[in-house]
Every structure is written in structure tokens, then in C-alpha cells.
Amino acid sequence: MQSKLMFPRSIRYLLAVAEHQSFTRAAEALYVSQPTLSQQIKQLEEALGVLLLDRSGRSIQLTDAGQVYLTHARRALEELDAGIRAVSEVEDLSRGFLRVGMTPITEYLTTSLLDDFSARYPGITVSAMEMSQDQIESGVAENSIDVGIAFTHTPATEIWSGKIEMHTMFKEPLSLAVGESHPLCGQQMPVTAAVLEKEALVLLSPNFALRRHFDLYCLEQGITPHIVIETNSLSMIVQSVGLGRLVTVLPTTIACTHSGLYAVPMLPELPNHTIALICSRGAYKSPACRAFGVLASEWNFGRCPVTLKPDARPCPRPEVCAREKTSFVTDEL
């Protein structure tokens, strides 16, 4: 049989006739005219190519085909009604999904934002994925993720500029980070770029924006950094630096608060990182995505820039802990 579209209204009319065993009583119950109801059911029978109702007796009865058809039609209507309820629940944020992409660095800096979102909207399932800056931008542009938290543009990421938009959240200064047993630990006077050039470094790979910012800094200072390990794992960097021999470059929040790491000032200062919320430009955004944008703006202004762990020492560089925060337009998210 050729597949033809069946409308829920026709099926509801058929259910009413089967229940009341009368076109007249069914029409009254549905608040429609009897000719309208009869015409809709006739069109349904013509579309199916079978009689669904036996009209020969004093009361209207379902035919065998009608009995079989209504068994499936009832289930279909239940699913349609469930779909309507599900749509309503998505709109009022009692259910839904949110796919978030984060770099290893922004993941550390904004974990509390995801926790706040989950607490406010417990019915929404959040899928948080760690990926590089380029992967986040392409993922948002191609709709494989809903929103990203990453750094603002660096020269290698302009390919997606026409399909994504970035909403600045806050600026994060960078610091040289060393372990407790490193000779620079406790250094109060800023170290120079020439000193940095002599240190063995463990850094994120060039796929990450932080690394590209650092490479640009080295180019501007005319130094060639001694990079001995490249990785895409923040955990490996932290553990390697904690052993005492290697140094790295991290956001000051991480360098100041992570147990076993110590921030060392530099002159010229390392560049600030601008943390941004990345979303698609002009494309549909789910209610969960829009709600995340609103909460991100609220969280940005209410966050404590440095949250110390219980076993962490007081921040050695309180003068850099003031963050520039920006209110972005959440209506577009």
C-alpha cells in the first residue's frame, strides 16, 4: 500500500465515533458538524483503501480493519501527545540536552558554571567535552556542539569567523608556573624573557589558543623557548611541573590556587587571555543553550576569580586577581 499522510484530527474523529457508536453523538462531543466529521472519516477510509466503520446497523460499529487500525492509531496518538508534552518540557527547561565544548584550561576555570547550571536545571543533561580551540569553533559552526567556552580569536582560527560569534566573559592573566622545588619558586621580582628562554618548558600543543598566545609572546620578545614536552593534557602539565624541574605557562588562577604550583611574575608581562562563550551565528539555539548563556552572564559577575582549595596556600599575587568582566547580550544566545 502506498504510504499516505494521516492527520491526527481524522483519527480522533474515528475514535469518537467508535466510542459513541454514532456520528451525531460523536459530532456533539467534538463540537463539530456531523457532515464535517463524516467527510473526514470518509477521506481517511479512502486513503487507507478499506472501510473502517460498519454503518449498516442501528449503531455504528468498527469493522475488523477498523479494530486493527484503531489499535495502532491509539498508540500513535499517545506518542503524539507525549511529544507535545516533551516539547513543552523542553521549552520550560524541565528536560533537554546541552552539548558544551571546553579546552583543558577553560574546563578548569569554568567548572563551577556547569555545576551551577546543572543545579538550576536538573532535568537537562549536560554533555561536557574537552577539545581544542579549533575543534570547539568547528563544532559550534557545524552544530555538533551547542556552545563552547574558549579563548578569543588567535590568527589560526579565522576560518570559522563568519559562522560563530564570541561573547567575552572575563580576562584572565597568564603567569609562569613552577613547582615547589624549582629555583624560581618564591621569586618576588619579575623574571625577564631572557631567563624564561633558559628554562625547560612543558606546554600545551600548538592546537590550543594558550600555546599560540605564548608563541606570539616569544616572537615579540625575540626569544626561542626551550620546549621539552608538548601535550594536550592539563593534568600532565601540572604533574610535570610539580616534580620541580620543568616550568609552564598557565592562567594565573590555576597557577595561584592549584596545590603544588607557584606563580612567578614576568617582565614584560605575559599576555592576558580573554575567555569567551562561543555560539553559532544566526542559527537556531535551543532553550537550554539560551538559558546557559543567561546563566553564564550571571555567573561571570558573581564568580570569585580565585577559589582556593582547602590545602592551598594564600594567593601570592593578589594584585592580579581582579578580573575585567563583561556583560554580553544573552538575548541572542
Cβ-in-10-Å burial (0-12, 13-18, 19+) of 310 comes to: exposed
Reply yes or no on whether the pLDDT at 304 is more than 70: no
Percent of the chain whose predicted confidence (pLDDT) is above 90: 47
pLDDT of amino acid 314: 44
pLDDT, average across residues 21-27: 92
Contact 263, 316 (CB under 8 A): yes
pLDDT of amino acid 311: 45
pLDDT, average across residues 111-118: 92
In the chain, the amino acid numbered 236 is M
Reply yes or no on whether the pLDDT at 223 is more than 70: yes
Higher pLDDT, 331 or 50: 50
pLDDT, average across residues 238-242: 94
Question: Measuring CA to CA, which residue among 318, 311, 299 is closest to residue 109?
Answer: 299
Reply yes or no on whether the pLDDT at 327 is more than 80: no
- Gap between the Cα atoms of 113 and 328, Å rounded: 16
63-67, 86-90, 260-264: least confidently modelled range: 86-90
Reply yes or no on whether the pLDDT at 238 is more than 90: yes
Instruction: Count how many Cα atoms sit within 13 Å of the Cα of residue 250 in the half-sphere of its side chain.
Output: 30
pLDDT of amino acid 315: 46
pLDDT, average across residues 168-189: 90
- Give bridge partners of residue 250 from the DSSP assignment: 175
pLDDT, average across residues 242-249: 96
pLDDT, average across residues 30-57: 91
pLDDT band at 159 (very low <50, low <70, confident <90, very high): low
* 222 phi, psi to nearest 5 deg: 70, 35
Reply yes or no on whether the pLDDT at 61 is more than 60: yes
pLDDT, average across residues 82-91: 76
Percent of the chain whose predicted confidence (pLDDT) is above 70: 85
Reply yes or no on whether the pLDDT at 16 is more than 50: yes
Range picked from 72-81, 192-201, 254-263, 290-299 for highest mean pLDDT: 192-201
* Average pLDDT across the chain, whole number: 84
pLDDT of amino acid 101: 95
pLDDT of amino acid 316: 45
CA separation, residue 209 to residues 152, 157, 204 (Å): 8, 9, 9
Cα angle 288, 291, 297 (rounded to 5 degrees) comes to: 145
